[in-house]
Amino acid sequence: DKTRTTKVDKPTTQGKINMSTTLNTDEAPIQKSHAEDLAQISLELEKPYLYQNRRTGQPSSAPLTARQLCRLLCPAVDGSIMRSTTMMVTPETLVIGYEISTGQYAAEGWVLAKKTPVLREACSSWHYEEKGTIKGPVTCRELANEIRAQRSKEKGGVEILWENMRVWSTEMTQLDEESNKEQQQWRKISELIFLKAAMEAFEDNPPQWSLGGISEEKGEHIEKGKGGDAQ
pLDDT in tens, 93-151: 999 999 999 999 999 999 999 999 999 999 999 999 988 899 999 999 999 999 888 77
For residue 177, pLDDT over 90 is answered with no
What was the pLDDT predicted at 178?
78
Structure-derived torsion over alpha carbons of residues 94, 42, 230, 82, reported in degrees to the nearest 10: 30
Q: What is the largest CA-CA distance in the chain?
A: 56
Q: With cut-offs at 50, 70 and 90, classify the pLDDT of residue 184.
A: low
The structure's pTM equals 0.74
What was the pLDDT predicted at 163?
78
- Whole-angstrom distance, CA of residue 114 vs CA of residue 91: 5
For residue 159, pLDDT over 90 is answered with no
Per-residue pLDDT of 46-101, as tens digits, reads 999 999 998 899 999 999 999 999 999 999 876 454 555 678 899 999 999 999 99
Who has greater pLDDT, 168 or 228? 168
- Whole-angstrom distance, CA of residue 140 vs CA of residue 119: 10
- 45 closest CA partner among 93, 102, 106, 116: 116
Q: Tell whether omega for the bond before 137 is within 30 degrees of 0, i.e. cis.
A: yes
What was the pLDDT predicted at 45?
97
Query: In a 3-state reduction of DSSP, which class is residue 119?
Result: helix
What was the pLDDT predicted at 151?
74
What was the pLDDT predicted at 202?
94
Q: With cut-offs at 50, 70 and 90, classify the pLDDT of residue 176.
A: confident
Per-residue pLDDT of 2-24, as tens digits, reads 444 444 444 554 433 333 333 34
What was the pLDDT predicted at 140?
96
CB of 135 closer than 8 Å to CB of 155? no
- Whole-angstrom distance, CA of residue 119 vs CA of residue 76: 16
What was the pLDDT predicted at 211?
40
For residue 43, pLDDT over 50 is answered with yes
Q: What is the mean pLDDT of residues 17-37?
A: 52
For residue 212, pLDDT over 90 is answered with no
- Whole-angstrom distance, CA of residue 155 vs CA of residue 220: 41
- Whole-angstrom distance, CA of residue 148 vs CA of residue 162: 9
- Beta strands 125-130 and 94-99: pairing type? unpaired
DSSP assignments along 176-188, one per residue:
HHHTTPPPP--EE
Q: What is the mean pLDDT of residues 197-220?
A: 60
The gap from C-alpha 132 to its chain's centroid, in whole angstroms, comes to: 28
**Least confident residue range of 80-89, 160-169, 185-194:** 80-89
